[in-house]
Amino acid sequence: SRLRIVTFSTIDNFVSRLQNAKNIIVLTGAGVSTSLGIPDFRSSEGFYSRVKYLGLNDPQDVFNYELFKKEPSIFYSIANMILPPENVYSPLHSFIKMLSDKGKLLRNYTQNIDNLESYAHIPADKLVHCHGSFASATCVTCDWKVPGTKIFKNIRNIELPICPNCYKERVKMMELYNPYVSESVDLNTNSKKFSAKEVETISNIKSFGVLKPDITFFGEPLPERFFQCLMTDMHKCDLLICIGTSLKVAPVSDIVNMIPAQVPQVLINRDPVRHADFDLSLLGFCDDIAGLVTKRCGWEFMHKDWEKLSGG
């Protein structure tokens, strides 16, 4: 844990730091979108409890890259549940936009894959999608990229989106190997002799040519931009605010340990985060807290769905 150098005890300390800050890092998670009806991941009503019926050892395995390569239909059976809504954003997103408009936002590191930051007009250069997003999708076989919207229909229909490049070959493979692709067939005991190459082909056939949204699965590296930005931002940052995240997923959760010790760190979250050493934890609904803090700073921000938010 971080050697505590700054000790904030009150919201007033935070307010004055906010007023003077020039390079704020805002680290966000699923909690910034729950007021829009989008579930977070780990709360009792969250996404992981909703996919328990799949019977996976760990519900997080819906985002396991190795499993996706073996059995992409598992992810695509629930992908519709995480498909982002269009053109909505929360007051918290508007709060971040306000920090950007005031020239105070160094970067918003978001773990969210819903891309709602763009609807709030947070500038793209101020954003790092740490876990990627649905903005694009890539073929797991040939790396062909398509705009994410191209696979939305498949996702809604609970079907596998197939890469246009690989489509013909996949059909051919399916015709050849289809009886052996079914899960019930154990390739080792099958009477027909397959070469090692064929066995590999059959094992891979389920994901052959399948398009995967460019969200970072467990077992995949984070986007290069995450590391590039963080390397310089960590030295420029003069205030870190973590909002709506349980900070349970590395390497994003390591940001709190990478920021120099003299930089204050504030948590705005419904539940406490006990494994990190924050200078101040403001516990509650983030939209309300952002409104309150904004008011205390003597600022105000507009939010499209609220008359005018100038206080919580």
Known catalytic residues are 131
Q: Which is nearer to ligand OAD, 61 or 198 (CB)?
A: 61
Window 275-294: contact mask with ligand OAD (x via CB under 6 A): ----------xx--------
As a dihedral over the C-alpha atoms of residue 274, residue 278, residue 281, residue 287, rounded to 10 degrees, the angle is -100
222 contributes a contact to ligand OAD by CB under 6 A: no
Nearest to 65 by CA among 201, 216, 187, 170: 216
Tell the smallest beta-carbon distance from residue 67 to ligand OAD (Å).
14
DSSP state of 174: H
Tell the smallest beta-carbon distance from residue 174 to ligand OAD (Å).
29
| CA pair distance 216, 132, nearest whole angstrom | 6
Q: Which is nearer to ligand OAD, 169 or 288 (CB)?
A: 288
| CA pair distance 55, 68, nearest whole angstrom | 15
Q: Which is nearer to ligand OAD, 248 or 304 (CB)?
A: 248
As a dihedral over the C-alpha atoms of residue 242, residue 244, residue 249, residue 255, rounded to 10 degrees, the angle is -10
84 Cβ contact partners less than 8 Å away, ≥ 6 residues apart: 38, 113, 114, 115, 116, 134
Instruction: Classify 232 as helix, strand or coil.
Output: helix
Binding residues for Zn(2+): 139, 142, 163, 166
162 contributes a contact to ligand OAD by CB under 6 A: no
Q: Cα 263–123–12 angle (5° rounding)? A: 35
Q: Which is nearer to ligand OAD, 237 or 267 (CB)?
A: 267
| CA pair distance 216, 223, nearest whole angstrom | 8
Give the range of 39-47, 121-129, 145-153, 166-174 binding ligand OAD by CB under 6 A: 39-47
Tell the smallest beta-carbon distance from residue 267 to ligand OAD (Å).
9
Q: Which position among 24, 27, 29, 208 is part of the footprint of ligand OAD (CB under 6 A)?
A: 29
131 contributes a contact to ligand OAD by CB under 6 A: yes
Strand extents, DSSP E, the chain: 24-28, 105-110, 127-129, 132-139, 145-147, 211-215, 239-243, 265-269, 280-283
Q: Which position among 27, 36, 67, 215 is part of the footprint of ligand OAD (CB under 6 A)?
A: 215
Q: Which position among 115, 133, 216, 294 is part of the footprint of ligand OAD (CB under 6 A)?
A: 216
The site that binds ligand OAD (CB under 6 A) totals a number of residues, namely 27
Residue type for position 47: F
30 contributes a contact to ligand OAD by CB under 6 A: yes
Judged by CB under 6 A, the chain residues 237 through 256 that form the site for ligand OAD are 244-246, 248-249
226 contributes a contact to ligand OAD by CB under 6 A: no
Residues of this chain that interact with ligand OAD (CB under 6 A) are: 29-31, 34-35, 40-43, 46, 60, 63, 111, 113, 131, 215-216, 244-246, 248-249, 269-271, 285-286
